[in-house]
Amino acid sequence: MTVRTALITGASRGIGKAIREAFEASGIAVLAPGRTEMDLSDARSIAAYLDSLGSRQIDILINNAGINPLGGISEITDEDIRSTIAVNLEAPLFLMRTLVPRMEKNGWGRVVNISSIWSEVSKPRRIVYSSTKAGLSAATRTIAVEVASHGVLVNAVAPGYTNTELTRQNNPPDVLAAIEQTIPQGRLAEPREIAELVLFLCSDRNSYITGQTIFIDGGFTCQ
């Protein structure tokens, strides 16, 4: 039985942690570098980490890490723009640029980029975050077309409101209750639900889905 190896960014908590746990439970070997090993805001750090892998085959890449500084168009700073683009868009592109060609050479690979509902729908004070996630979805489609004939499938998953520690910290109970009322299913997503979708997309069971951004939001973006 072939043991696949996955590289997951942002795997220490929330959705990333759930993906890591789902992969490990299914027998996938997981590399989950923290910021001290690979600083996603620093292109040199990313390059150094990739160099440290040597010739090790990475079969699956999950670009999950992201940051979300809030601010309207008149409020966002130069650093907000630069850091969010670096982590949310440049880092995934750097990782895919190195790892996807290796997958092509091996004849098998899976990439899932974690996008967001805010790549498709709008909410005030999320201009930089939304822009980077929309860009990530666009990159997903383009790369998928480039590598489809080489056994490499590239997709994005766009979660809606998800029941993570960060969500609970940032929203008091009354705000969470109001958010739930805006979701047709009447509740937040659980991280494991996102993880199960990602696991399927990265398995041999998925043999024909590529270039898609799949929304998993309880019907939120259908309204």
> What is the reported pLDDT for 176?
96
Q: State the burial class of residue 70 (Cβ atoms within 10 Å of its Cβ: 0-12, 13-18, 19+).
A: middle
- The model's confidence at residue 166, banded by pLDDT at 50, 70 and 90, is confident
- 58-73 mean pLDDT: 97
Residue of 219, 143, 145, 138 lying closest to 182 (CA atoms) = 219
What amino acid is encoded at 9 in this protein? T
Three-state DSSP state, 148? helix
154 pLDDT above the threshold of 80: yes
Check pLDDT > 80 for residue 135: yes
Which pLDDT score is estimated for 64?
Answer: 99
pLDDT interval class at 8 (50, 70, 90)? very high
The confidence band for 19, taking pLDDT boundaries of 50, 70 and 90, is very high
Q: Residue 208 catalytic?
A: no
Q: What is the pLDDT of residue 179?
A: 97
Total domain count, the chain: 1
Q: Which domain holds residue 200?
A: 5-222
CATH number of domain containing 187: 3.40.50.720
Q: In this model, does residue 1 exceed pLDDT 80?
A: no
Element (H, E) at 8: strand 5-8
Q: Residues 102-132, buried b or exposed e (16+ Cβ, 10 A)? A: bbbeeebbbbbbbbbbbbbbeeeebbbbbbb
Give the separation between CA 197 and CA 79, rounded to whole angstroms. Answer: 33
Q: Model confidence over 74-108: pLDDT tens digits? A: 999 999 999 999 999 999 999 999 999 999 999 99
Q: Among 49, 129, 161, 208, which one carries the catalytic annotation?
A: 129
Q: Which pLDDT value is given to residue 136? A: 99
- Tens digit of pLDDT for each residue in 167-176? 998 889 999 9
Type of residue numbered 31: L
Average pLDDT, the chain: 97
The reply to whether the predicted model has a pTM over 0.85 is yes
% residues pLDDT > 90 (the chain): 96
Number of H helices, E strands in the chain: 8, 6
Asked if pLDDT for residue 159 goes beyond 90, the answer is yes
